[in-house]
């Protein structure tokens, strides 16, 4: 039995009404990265030794938790404030090839219009580990 005109329009109305609701639900699921990229750089050093150096060179103000995943060829160093225990940032170290790595630093401290002391300090640490 063919659809009656009122049935088609009724179905179309439901579809039109559900589309904006679906879009709203989808947009509610998308949120900004809580730790946006602060900076990244490539260094001529293997990811394992670079990760270890970053962990060992971090100032004593921060508690560090280093990790290396040899299967995925990456490393990381989590930085927490010794006084509060709060996460302040993290280094991600990714293998490019046998002799070079990419370091990505993400700061948990939000800044407005520029870098923070922590970001500058992290870059100095990474640069010192590369030499």
Query: pLDDT tens, 81-125?
Result: 999 999 999 999 999 999 999 999 998 877 665 668 889 999 999
Q: Is 85 helix (H, G, I), strand (E, B) or coil?
A: coil
Angle, in degrees to the nearest 10, between helices 117-130 and 47-57: 130
Which pairs with CB-CB distance under 8 Å and at least 24 residues apart come from 92-97?
93/47, 93/50, 93/51, 93/54, 94/47, 95/46, 95/47, 96/42
Mean predicted confidence (pLDDT) in 8-30 = 44
Is residue 34 scored above 50 in pLDDT? yes
pLDDT digits (tens, 9 = 90+) for 42-60: 999 999 999 999 999 999 9
User: 107, 88 in Cβ contact below 8 A?
Assistant: yes
What CATH code would you report for 37-130?
3.30.310
């Amino acid at each position: 039995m063919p659809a009656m005109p009122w049935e088609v329009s009724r179905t179309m109305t439901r579809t039109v009404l559900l589309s904006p609701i679906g879009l709203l639900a989808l947009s509610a699921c998308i949120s900004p990265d809580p730790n946006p990229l602060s900076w990244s750089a490539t260094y001529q050093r293997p990811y394992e030794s670079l990760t270890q150096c970053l962990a060992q060179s971090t100032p004593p103000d921060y508690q560090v938790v280093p990790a290396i995943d040899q299967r995925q060829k990456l490393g990381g160093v989590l930085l927490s404030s010794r006084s509060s225990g709060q996460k302040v940032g993290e280094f991600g170290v990714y293998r490019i090839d046998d002799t070079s790595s990419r370091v990505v630093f993400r700061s948990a401290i939000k800044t407005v219009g520029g870098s923070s002391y922590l970001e500058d300090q992290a870059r100095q640490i990474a640069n010192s580990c590369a030499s």
